[in-house]
Amino acid sequence: MNDLPNIDAGSFSAIVKTALFAGERSTHPPRILLLYGSLRQRSFSRLLAEEAARLLQALGADTRFFNPTGLPLPDDAPDTHPKVVELRELCAWAEGMVWSSPERHGAMTGIMKSQIDWIPLSLGAIRPTQGKTLAVMQVCGGSQSFNAVNQMRLLGRWMRMLTIPNQSSVAKAYDEFDEFDRMKPSSYYDRLVDVMEELVKFTLLTRDIAPYLTDRYSERKETAAKLAERMSQSRL
């Protein structure tokens, strides 16, 4: 440690390789929450999410949806609002998420962003999103674009989520679903399968070791400092 004078030795430690391989692995189905970013009666972001849920279930996952209808704007209602409570409880339940948004004016929709904004980084000692997996998807009204998924990927990183490498962007989404609201065979559908496979794999790999993967030196140091301060005050 002589070469690292800025390091707090009490908070720094070598990587514990055995901690990266859970001794006892969870056996319940991966729990995946799906959010979508449109309230239209025939919402293509919702239809894409529903198609994703069918694939996730076929891959052995347990899926739930949050319907954003009735969710207030952030800061326009208390966090005790029933829809906010519902969303936060689903986030606590989930081990991974799928975010599916239309692209509107070159960005994700306000409906999508409002849902994300209601998810806090922490609820007391609980962090609803940290270490959980995330897959991002978008539907386009015209040619293929990646603006919405790029934005959601940035937000996923900010929410300390493990955003998987693959993603889905469906161009001219109105042409990709049949009269029964099922997705037609296409390269877009094949990519959706790829994304859901990857999400389940990453969730199974990381869910049992997420606390260790997201354990940070800076936070351990801060916690140690707070403990020292409290002990010092107790002696006064």
pLDDT digits (tens, 9 = 90+) for 131-166: 999 999 999 999 999 999 999 999 999 999 999 999
pLDDT digits (tens, 9 = 90+) for 84-103: 999 999 999 999 999 999 99
DSSP string, 31-72: EEEEEE----TT-HHHHHHHHHHHHHHHTT-EEEE---TTPP
Residue 225 pLDDT: 67
CB atoms within 10 A of CB 146: 14
User: Please, what are the domains in the chain?
Assistant: 26-234 (3.40.50.360)
